[in-house]
Structure 1
Amino acid sequence: MSNVSSLNIKIKVRSQFLSPGVKYGVHLVFKICGPRKFLSKFLYVNLTYKMGNETFHAYFATWRDEEWMTIELFRFLNNKKNTKFEALLESFSQYYCGSGAIYVEGLEFRVIHSVKHEETETTENVQQSLKSNSNKDDVQQPQDDHVMLKRTEDDGKSTKFITLHEVNRKNYLMLSAKEVLYDSSNVKLFHLKASSQSRFQEVVELQPQQVFRIYCKIKTQMLSRDTNYSCYLIFKLSEKCLGLHCPVKVRNLLHRKNKEAKNVYFRSPSPWNLHDIDCVPKQREDGWMEVNLWKFSSINELKNDCIPVNLKLICYEGTMSHLIVCGLEFRPM
C-alpha cells in the first residue's frame, strides 16, 4: 500500500474455519517499507478503521521480528458456525509511520486464553472490570483523618499544602497540583481553579499543550524508608475536554538512558489497546480519577536526603486541554 494515510483496505472476515465457543483476536500483519529503528516492544501507529458506522483506533503495533509487526483490530467470541465481520482500514498515523509505503501480509486469528480483563468488549465494561480486579492489589485509600501540612517556601512568601496519612504503619502522601506541576504559575499553560471537592484549596486545569512536566522533591521523612511506592496522578476531565482519547507517554527524566516509556490513558481504552493493567484510569471513592505514573523504591531513589520526581507527560496526538489535575498521591505497595 503506497499511502499510509489513505489505505482504503476492505476486510471481510468469515469464521467457518475457527473453533466454535472460542474467543479470538483479529490481527493485521504488516511492515513499514524502509529501515526502521525500534527501541521498545510496541510502536505507536494509530491505525484508524471503521466497522459499520463506528470508527475505531488501534494504537500500538507489536514487533514480530526485525521487520514484521502485528496490530490487533478487534475481538469476538465465535459462537456461531459462520460469523461474518467487515471492516474498512482507513489510515496509519503519517507522523509516526512516515510517508512511505507498507506491505500487508494478511490477517492472523489468535485464540485469547483466560487472561485477566479479557472478557469484556466495551469501553465501559473494560473500566468496570479493571476496577474490580485491580482493587485487591491497591492499598486502601485513607479516610478523612489525614493531616494537612502547610509548608512555607524558601522565599518566605509562598505557601503550599500537602496531606500526610499513615496506612499500616506506612506513610501515605498527597501533594497538590500547584506543588507538583512544573511552571504551574504560567497562565498560558495552566489555569488555577478553586475547588470545594478537593482536599486542597485549588486545582489546576491545563490549557492547550501537548507536553507537561511533573517536578518536585519529597523530603525523606514524608515517605517510609525501604518501601516500594506507586505514584498516582489524581485528575478529572472537564466537560469541555474533547480529546485525550489516545494514550499519553510518561518518561522519567531522571533515568534518561531507559528508552522504554510508560503509556497511560486518561479515558478507558478498548480491550485491544490494553497492554498493561496499570495504564488505565480508575474511579476513586472521593469522586476523582487516578492513573499510575511511576513505581519506585524510597531507598533506591534517595538523593541528598530527598526523593526527586521529574516526569514528562507527552500526548501522542492532540493536546491535554481541559485536563484538571488535583495532585499526586504516593501509596505504599
Structure 2
Amino acid sequence: MKNPGHGPTRRLRAWVGAAGAILLMALWLLWLLGSAPGGVPVPQPKITVLVWHWPFTDRSPELPGDTCTRYGMPYCRLTTDRSLLARADAVVFHHRELQTQRSRLPLAQRPRGQPWVWASMESPSHTHGLGRLGGIFNWVLSYRRDSDIFTPYGRLEPHPGPAPPLPVKSGMAAWVVSNFQERQQRVRLYRQLAPHLQVDVFGRANRRPLCAACLLPTVARYRFYLAFENSLHQDYITEKFWRNALAAGTVPVVLGPPRATYEAFVPPGAFVHVDDFRSARELAAFLRGMNESRYGSFLAWRDRLQVRLLSDWRERFCAICARYPHLPRDQVYEDLEGWFQA
C-alpha cells in the first residue's frame, strides 16, 4: 500500500531543488553582468568627503546629497558638517585658509588611518606656510599632473555640433591684468612687446576693468590674447589660458611652463609660445605678419573640440572619490613644502 504523502513530498522536494538551482543561476548571471564590461555595475559604497572649510569664504554652499552625481560620481557625498569627522572617509583642507590662520587642523581629533587631503590651485610663488604641514597629509589635490587628485583649470573635450561663430577680429592683441608689478616676468615681456605690437590692456591695473559678462565678448574681438601667467611653475596653466583665450575664441600667446606641457593638454598648433622666439620683437613680427590662412589653422581645433572649464570647487572635491579606491592609505607627505616648491 502506497503512503499518500510520498507523492506530494517528492514533488515539493523537486520544486525546492529546481527553485534553488534557478536562484543560483540568477545570482551567477548577475555576477557575470556586473563583472563584464558594459554590464550592470556593481553598486559601490558611498564615499563621504568632509570639506573642513570652503575655499575663500566663511559661508559654505548648499551641498545636496546628489551634488557629485552631476559630475558622474553618484557614490560620492560631499559634506561640510564637522560633526562627521570621525565617520568621514577622507577630509580635505584648502591651503589658503590654513595659510591665513582662518582655519586650523583638528589634529587631536583625527581618527586613526583617515586620509587627509591638501588642496590648492595657487602657484608656489603665492603659497606660504608649508613648512609646518609636513607629515600630516596623505594626498594632494592640485593642478600638477603628479598630484594624487589632478584637477586642471580646464580641458578640451569633443563637442557634437559645429563650433559657434566668432565675431570679426577688429583688434590685434588683448591682455586682461589686475596684478601688474614691474618685477614680474610677464610685465617685463609686455614692456618689450608693446613698442612693436598693438596691445590693448584691460583690468584694474590699467583702470579699464571688465565686468564678468563682458570679458569673453571683448577678448573675442582680438586675434591674440596674452595668456601670461603671473609666475612660472611646473604645470601651472590657469584660466588665463583656458577661459580668457581658448574659451573666448582667440589665439593665446603663452608665457608659462615649457611648450611640451601645453601640448599635453591641447594640440600643438592651438597656441603661440614665447619661448619659440629669440626676442619680443621677433614674436611681434610673427603675430603681425600672420595671414588669414595661417591664423585660421590656430583655431582649427574648434571644429571638433570645446573648452570645459573646471573652476567649480564642488567638482574638484568630488574628484577625490574617483581616485579614492586607487590611492595608498599609508602615504604621507613628510616634506610637503619640498614637493610643491620643487
Instruction: Give yes or no for TM over 0.5.
Output: no
**TM-score by structure 2 length?**
0.26
**TM-score by structure 1 length?**
0.26
In our comparison, the structure showing a higher alpha carbon Rg is 2
Tell me which protein shows more helix as a share of its residues: 2
